[in-house]
């Protein structure tokens, strides 16, 4: 049972949250979630955080201590690349099924403060900086996400115009939600920032159409129909059913989760098998879902997944997604769950929800929830 869900504002790397480390982002959200549990915070027995590019070590432990949790609460940091935040929640759900109590789970990313990493030099050589770890062995195929998104859009004949239209709609929805205060209840201010930085009112399809392809002259993926590089954190509190009954608060029941693998050369398709498996385990279909949150890494990628799933793209991210809000890698999967919590519980937007995210290296993670008292 997910009984609390909060996040930081999402900032553009190097901008509003640029001076905050990963622990600086995660700690205030952990603290706020724990505070929202009231007397039940004493039942928190672990913190699990996803992270991709942080300083290394056990970031979850550092952030938990920085948040002021008791030293008796251990921490675990997980890395499933872009799926890390959702994978942390899946791990927390597994723990809650076996043991009574609460687990705080989510993810965090601070590209602004991520350390520079280098391969050891060859004898007589110099260290060589690398910007990301390998997603897959080179002989299997290890494309960067942008070129892979271009290839996926081509595979599914997703036109440039459709991608720009989708991206413009994501921004328009996020701007409308922001103006209506739809994000306010889920955001924990950090470093004086209390609103998402990226949504743009003027990102119309006509304006986006002027941008050049980002990954080759023949491509359709641009900076405008892709997510940004972003800082942010998100944390939820996961309780076993007995603890939830004692708390007596509205919650999201986790009905099913799934993690799947696909061809590393088409990593964006990971959403598809993960979604199918999670829905099958829940005994539900896409038609049953009231809110669907896919991580919008690239418009073409989301549209390709919708085609494969026979899903109307209009149903995805009804209040705007990562194209508008941003994609703080290790946190993004957890942000999806915070968005479900707000729309299904705070906003009374229905009964069932689905969150799914694709992962570099060819993986996908999905989670199906039900709103309940």
Q: What is the DSSP string of 166-192?
A: HHHHHHHHHHHHHHTTTTGGGB--BTT
Q: What is the pLDDT of residue 257?
A: 98
Output phi, psi for 237, to 5 deg.
Answer: -105, 125
- Position 319 scores a pLDDT of 98
Is 40 among the catalytic positions? no
Question: pTM to 2 decimals?
Answer: 0.97
Is 327 a known active-site residue?
Answer: yes
Q: What is the pLDDT of residue 349?
A: 79
pLDDT at 317: 98
pLDDT for the residue 269: 98
Q: Is 68 strand, coil or helix?
A: coil
pLDDT in tens, 142-195: 999 999 999 999 999 999 999 999 999 999 999 999 999 999 999 999 999 999
Per-residue pLDDT tens for 109-155? 999 999 999 999 999 999 999 888 899 999 999 999 999 999 999 99
Rounded Cα gap, residues 27 and 303, in angstroms:
35
Q: Which residues contact 169 (CB under 8 A, 6 or more apart)?
A: none
**For the chain, give me the number of helices (H) and strands (E)?**
11, 12
Could you give all domains of the chain from N- to C-terminal order, each with its CATH number?
Answer: 145-181+255-372 (3.40.47.10)
Residue 163 in tokens: 């991608």
How far is CA 339 from each of CA 14, 130, 334, rounded to the nearest angstrom? 24, 33, 9
pLDDT at 32: 98
Q: What percent of the chain has pLDDT over 70?
A: 100
Mean pLDDT, the chain, whole residue set: 96
pLDDT at residue number 86: 98
Q: Tens of pLDDT along 113-122? A: 999 999 999 9
The pLDDT score that the predictor gives to residue 133 is 87
DSSP 301-332: HHHHHHHHHT--GGGB-TT--HHHH---HHHH
Which residue out of 52, 82, 227, 317 is catalytically annotated? Answer: 82
CA–CA separation, 349 and 369 (whole Å): 13
pLDDT bin (cut points 50, 70, 90) of residue 222 is very high
- Determine the pLDDT at residue 303: 98
Distance of CA 58 to the CA centre of its chain: 20
Task: Average the pLDDT over 71-81 and give the result.
Answer: 97
DSSP collapsed to 3 states, 328-370:
CHHHHHHHHHHHHHHHHHHCCCCCEEEEEEEECCCEEEEEEEE
Span 344-362, pLDDT tens digits: 999 887 999 999 999 999 9
Q: What is the spatial distance between Cα 4 and Cα 192, in angstroms, rounded to a whole number?
A: 23
Please tell me the least confidently modeled range out of 46-60, 124-138, 262-276, 296-310: 124-138
C-alpha torsion sign, points 124, 127, 128, 130: positive
**Distance from C-alpha of 353 to C-alpha of 289, rounded to nearest angstrom:** 5
Whole-number pLDDT of residue 348: 81
- Given 40, 171, 244, 327, which residue is catalytic? 327
């Amino acid at each position: 049972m997910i009984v609390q869900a909060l996040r930081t504002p999402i900032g553009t790397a190097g901008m509003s949250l640029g001076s905050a480390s990963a622990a600086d982002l995660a700690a205030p959200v952990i603290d706020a979630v724990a505070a929202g549990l009231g007397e039940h915070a004493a039942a928190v027995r672990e913190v699990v955080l996803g992270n991709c590019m942080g300083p290394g070590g056990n970031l979850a432990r550092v952030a938990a201590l920085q948040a002021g949790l008791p030293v008796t609460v251990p921490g675990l940091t997980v890395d499933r690349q872009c799926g890390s935040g959702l994978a942390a929640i899946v791990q927390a759900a597994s723990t809650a099924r076996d043991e009574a109590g609460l687990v705080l789970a989510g993810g965090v990313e601070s590209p602004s403060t991520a350390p520079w990493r280098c391969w050891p030099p060859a004898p007589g050589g110099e260290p060589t900086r690398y910007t990301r770890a390998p997603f897959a062995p080179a002989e299997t195929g290890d494309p960067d996400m942008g070129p892979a998104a271009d290839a996926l859009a081509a595979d599914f004949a997703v036109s440039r115009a459709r991608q720009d239209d989708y991206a413009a709609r994501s921004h328009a929805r996020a701007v409308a939600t922001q103006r209506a205060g739809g994000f306010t209840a889920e955001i924990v201010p950090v470093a004086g920032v209390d609103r998402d930085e990226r949504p743009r009112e003027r990102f119309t399809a006509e304006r986006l159409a002027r941008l050049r392809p980002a990954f080759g002259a023949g491509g359709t993926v641009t900076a405008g129909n892709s997510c940004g590089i972003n800082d942010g954190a998100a944390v939820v509190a996961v309780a076993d059913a007995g603890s939830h009954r004692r708390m007596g608060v509205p919650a999201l029941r986790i009905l099913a989760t799934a993690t799947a693998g696909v061809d590393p050369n088409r990593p964006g398709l990971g959403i598809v098998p993960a979604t199918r498996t999670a829905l099958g385990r829940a005994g539900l279909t896409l038609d049953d879902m009231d809110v669907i949150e896919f991580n919008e890494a690239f418009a073409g990628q989301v549209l390709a997944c919708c085609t494969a799933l026979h899903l109307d793209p209009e149903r995805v991210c009804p209040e705007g997604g990562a194209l508008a809000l941003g994609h703080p890698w290790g946190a993004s999967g957890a942000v999806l769950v915070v968005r479900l919590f707000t729309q299904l519980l705070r906003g009374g937007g229905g009964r069932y929800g689905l969150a799914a995210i694709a992962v570099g290296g060819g993986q996908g993670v999905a989670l199906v929830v039900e709103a309940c008292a």
